[in-house]
Amino acid sequence: MNGYEIIADSYRSLIKKETDEKTKIELEKKIKILDFLATCDAEDKCYLFDSSAFNDIFKGYTNKVVGNLLKNEDINQEQADRLRNSFSSILDEISAEEALKYRKSVNYKEK
């Protein structure tokens, strides 16, 4: 059993107790996606990302990070624009698999 299956099963338990119809529908959608992800290997997940289905979400995260850097005055507007353009174009330049290899090769510490 992988992590996706564990989370989906916990949502299944929640649904049984849930009385709010909207919450039940949200949980059912999450279960559907988690069940699907449980069948995916790393290569499948890269294909999903490369499909461009998540580009807008990725760009939203990028904009949030850049906005935070601007707010904290860590960068100026010109640098912010360059960062946004770089992140946007990188989606077309390298595959998700290449990005994962690069992430693993760079020496940085996660918080």
Q: What is the mean pLDDT of the chain?
A: 91
By CB atoms closer than 10 A (0-12, 13-18, 19+), residue 74 is: exposed
Report pLDDT for 107.
Answer: 66
Is pLDDT above 80 for 111? Answer: no
Is pLDDT above 90 for 103? Answer: no
CB 52 within 8 A of CB 91: yes
The model's pTM is 0.75
Report pLDDT for 3.
Answer: 95
Is pLDDT above 90 for 50? Answer: yes
Mean pLDDT value of segment 69-92: 90
**87 contacts: CB under 8 Å, gap ≥ 6:** 58, 59, 62
